[in-house]
Amino acid sequence: MAKFRAIAKGYYGDVIHDPDTDHHVIFEGPDDLEGSWFVKVDDDTPVQKVAEVSEETAEAEEILETEADAASDDVDINKETGVETL
């Protein structure tokens, strides 16, 4: 695995990497990983450990995803009819 440094906000490995907030700026990935928001760094650069997601957080995210999926039909209908939503 190679090490990379985020130079802009990006998503990889189920984690948002964001140098603006110093959130998981250095991360590991396959040697052939390519993207515009990160650069390859040397092997001596320490990797920030990804925090484990608690069961409570995982359950809450699942509820939010379910609610978002249920609301997506309403959003599509609003777009089709020209209704502005906030």
Residue 57 and residue 34 in one domain: no
State how many domains the chain has. 2
Domain coverage including residue 59: 51-81
The rounded distance, in Å, linking the Cα atoms of 27 and 63 is 29
pLDDT tens digits, 17-26: 998 888 889 8
For residues 57 and 32, membership in a common domain is answered with no
Within-domain flag for 22: yes
For residues 61 and 30, state if they share a domain. no
In a domain, residue 71? The reply is yes
**29-62, pLDDT tens digit by residue?**
999 999 999 999 987 777 766 666 678 877 888 8
Query: 34 and 57: one domain?
Result: no
What's the pTM? 0.52
Instruction: Assess if residue 60 is contained within a domain.
Output: yes
Q: Is residue 25 part of a domain?
A: yes
